[in-house]
Structure 1
Amino acid sequence: MKFPYGISDFDSLITRRLHYVDRTDHIPLLENAGDQLLFLRPRRFGKSLLLSMLENYYDINKAERFEELFGNLAIGQDPTPEYNQYFVLKWDFSVVSSEGDGEEIRRNLYDYLNMRFSDFYRNYQSILSEPIRIDPENATASFQSLLTAVRQTGHPLYLLIDEYDNFANEIMVRDRTEENRYQAILSGEGCMKALFKAVKAAAGGQGLRRVFITGVSPVAMSDLTSSYNVAENIYLLPEFNTLCGFREPEIAKILAMIAEECKLTGSQMTDALSMVRTFYNGYRFSRRAEGLVYNPTLALYFLKAFHRDCRYPEE
Structure 2
Amino acid sequence: MKRLPIGIQTFSEIINENYCYVDKTRIIYELINNGKYFFLSRPRRFGKSLLIDTLKDLFEGREELFKGLWLENKWLWNKKYPAIKISFGGGVRNTDELDIVIKNQFKNIYEDYELKDYEITLSNVMFLSLIRKLYKEYNSQVVILIDEYDKPILDNITDKDKATAIREDLKDLYSVLKEADSYIKFCFITGVSKFSKVSLFSGLNNLWDITLDERFATICGYTQNDLETVFMEYLVGVDLEKVKLWYNGYSWLGEGVYNPFDILLFLGSASREFKNYWFETGSPTFLLKLLKERKYYLP
After TM superposition, the structure 1 = structure 2 runs for residues 267-306 of structure 1, keeping only pairs within 5 Å, are: 269=238, 271=239, 273-286=240-253, 289=254, 291-305=255-269
Q: Give the alignment's Cα RMSD to 1 decimal.
A: 2.1
- Comparing 208-217 with 10-19, greater Cα deviation is found at 208-217
Contact 2:152 2:166 in 1 (8 A): no
Distance 1:28 1:256, change over 3 A: closer
The aligned residue for residue 109 of structure 1 is 98
SS of the counterpart of 1:95? coil
Q: Which amino acid in structure 2 is aligned with residue 278 of structure 1? A: L
Q: Which amino acid in structure 2 is aligned with residue 156 of structure 1? A: Q
How far apart, in 2, do the equivalents of 1:85 and 1:254 lie? Answer: 30
Following TM superposition, by how much is the alpha carbon of 1:114 offset from its aligned partner in structure 2, in angstroms? 1.5
Work out which of the residue numbers 196, 220, 224 in structure 1 matches 2:174. 196
The aligned residue for residue 43 of structure 2 is 42
How far apart, in 1, do the equivalents of 2:247 and 2:117 lie? Answer: 46
Q: Which amino acid in structure 2 is aligned with residue 145 of structure 1? A: S
Distance 1:141 1:256, change over 3 A: closer
TM-score by length of 1: 0.80
How far apart, in 2, do the equivalents of 1:27 and 1:259 lie? Answer: 27
Runs of 4+ in 1 over 6 A off after TM superposition: none
User: Would you say 1:71 and 2:67 are equivalent positions?
Assistant: yes
**Equivalent pairs, count:** 273
Following TM superposition, by how much is the alpha carbon of 1:17 offset from its aligned partner in structure 2, in angstroms? 1.4
How far apart, in 2, do the equivalents of 1:201 and 1:236 lie? Answer: 28
The aligned residue for residue 289 of structure 2 is none
How far apart, in 1, do the equivalents of 2:202 and 2:73 lie? Answer: 41
Distance 1:171 1:9, change over 3 A: same
After TM superposition, the structure 1 = structure 2 runs for residues 228-243 of structure 1, keeping only pairs within 5 Å, are: 228-243=204-219
Q: Which amino acid in structure 2 is aligned with residue 201 of structure 1? A: E
Following TM superposition, by how much is the alpha carbon of 1:243 offset from its aligned partner in structure 2, in angstroms? 0.4
SS of the counterpart of 2:71? helix
Contact 2:110 2:118 in 1 (8 A): no
Contact 1:165 1:220 in 2 (8 A): no
Following TM superposition, by how much is the alpha carbon of 1:222 offset from its aligned partner in structure 2, in angstroms? 5.2
Work out which of the residue numbers 67, 86, 94 in structure 2 matches 1:91. 86
Following TM superposition, by how much is the alpha carbon of 1:16 offset from its aligned partner in structure 2, in angstroms? 0.5
The aligned residue for residue 139 of structure 1 is 123
How far apart, in 1, do the equivalents of 2:146 and 2:152 lie? Answer: 13
How far apart, in 2, do the equivalents of 1:241 and 1:214 lie? Answer: 14
Q: How far does the alpha carbon of each residue in 1:207-261 deviate from its partner, in whole angstroms, 9 at most, with x for none?
A: 222110001111265521434333110111111110011001222335643355x
Gaps spanning 5+ residues in structure 1: where? Answer: none
SS of the counterpart of 1:74? coil
Q: Which amino acid in structure 2 is aligned with residue 117 of structure 1? A: F
State the identity %.
Answer: 30
Distance 1:252 1:144, change over 3 A: closer
Q: How far does the alpha carbon of each residue in 1:94-138 deviate from its partner, in whole angstroms, 9 at most, with x for none?
A: 2241x24xxxx1x2222222211211111111xx5xx24322x41
Work out which of the residue numbers 181, 188, 204 in structure 1 matches 2:162. 181
Which protein is richer in helix relative to its size? 1
Distance 1:259 1:49, change over 3 A: closer
SS of the counterpart of 1:49? helix
How far apart, in 2, do the equivalents of 1:292 and 1:194 lie? Answer: 37
SS of the counterpart of 2:33? helix
How far apart, in 2, do the equivalents of 1:149 and 1:240 lie? Answer: 33
How far apart, in 1, do the equivalents of 2:256 and 2:30 lie? Answer: 20
The aligned residue for residue 147 of structure 2 is 162
The aligned residue for residue 281 of structure 2 is none
Q: How far does the alpha carbon of each residue in 1:74-110 deviate from its partner, in whole angstroms, 9 at most, with x for none?
A: 101221x37752101111112241x24xxxx1x2222
- Comparing 215-224 with 40-49, greater Cα deviation is found at 215-224
How far apart, in 2, do the equivalents of 1:258 and 1:143 lie? Answer: 45
Following TM superposition, by how much is the alpha carbon of 1:141 offset from its aligned partner in structure 2, in angstroms? 2.0
How far apart, in 1, do the equivalents of 2:203 and 2:160 lie? Answer: 20
How far apart, in 2, do the equivalents of 1:16 and 1:255 lie? Answer: 16
Contact 1:93 1:164 in 2 (8 A): yes
Contact 1:7 1:13 in 2 (8 A): yes
Q: Which structure: larger Rg?
A: 1
